[in-house]
């Protein structure tokens, strides 16, 4: 019996142009996510000339900026890096919800992969764990996903 066709990406996208969109809010966390993302890209052979870093005030502003970047068609993938900490306020739901649905819409609207490197946590401690301490660096993970998506889309 014939084998099924399997289409999947790898991490080989050495010519990829990648935009990193970073929220200033919770900057002590998001700068670590940015460091993880840059480290991952560098280890995957992506030169600084291929990387554009864009800073936004907070995660709420992320979808508009990501949409604009994607619409220009100059980037192969976008990595959104931010951190929303629940604390004791309903603000969390609005900021995190708008951010995640807006990023997904921008990706589909323009056909540009948008990696979700947004931490949504209950506490600052949980955010720190995911920004380069005991739970790895989710910024690096998001950058890796972006490269895999560039590779995959080229094969579809």
Q: Which two tokens stand for residue 87?
A: 């604390």
DSSP string, 64-81: HHHHHHHHHT--SEEEEE
18-23 vs 51-56, strand pairing mode: parallel
Q: List all residues 6 or more positions away from 118 whose beta carbon is below 8 Å from its beta carbon.
A: 59, 62, 80, 81, 82, 83, 84, 96, 99, 100, 103
> Would you call 91 a catalytic residue per the annotation?
yes
* From candidates 32, 41, 60, 151, binder to ligand INI by CB under 6 A: 60
Task: Tell me the C-alpha to C-alpha distance, in Å, between residue 130 and each of 89, 136, 138.
Answer: 21, 6, 6
Asked whether position 58 contacts ligand INI by CB under 6 A, the answer is: yes
Of the ranges 53-61, 107-115, 129-137, 144-152, which one interacts with ligand INI (CB under 6 A)? Answer: 53-61
* From candidates 27, 57, 73, 97, binder to ligand INI by CB under 6 A: 57
Asked whether position 121 contacts ligand INI by CB under 6 A, the answer is: no
CB of 136 to ligand INI, least distance (A): 20
Asked whether position 82 contacts ligand INI by CB under 6 A, the answer is: yes
Asked whether position 147 contacts ligand INI by CB under 6 A, the answer is: no
Helix (H) or strand (E) holding 53, with range, is strand 51-56
Asked whether position 85 contacts ligand INI by CB under 6 A, the answer is: yes
Angle ∠(39,34,23) on CA atoms, nearest 5: 170
Asked whether position 16 contacts ligand INI by CB under 6 A, the answer is: no
> What residues are annotated to the active site?
91
Binding-site ranges for ligand INI (CB under 6 A): 23, 25-26, 57-61, 82-85, 91-92, 95
């Amino acid at each position: 019996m014939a084998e099924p066709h399997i289409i999947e990406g790898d991490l080989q996208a050495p010519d990829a142009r990648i935009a990193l969109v970073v929220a200033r809010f919770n900057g002590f966390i998001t700068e670590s996510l940015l460091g993880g993302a840059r480290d991952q890209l560098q280890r995957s052979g992506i030169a600084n000339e291929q990387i554009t870093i864009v800073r936004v005030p907070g995660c709420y502003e992320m979808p508009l900026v990501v949409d604009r970047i994607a619409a220009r068609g100059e980037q192969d993938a976008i990595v959104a890096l931010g951190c929303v900490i629940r604390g004791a306020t309903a603000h969390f739901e609005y900021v995190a919800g708008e951010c995640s649905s807006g990023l997904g819409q921008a990706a589909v609207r323009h056909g540009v992969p948008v990696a979700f490197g947004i931490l949504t946590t209950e506490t600052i401690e949980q955010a720190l764990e995911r920004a380069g301490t005991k739970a790895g660096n989710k910024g690096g993970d998001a950058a890796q996903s972006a490269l895999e998506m560039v590779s995959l889309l080229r094969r579809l």
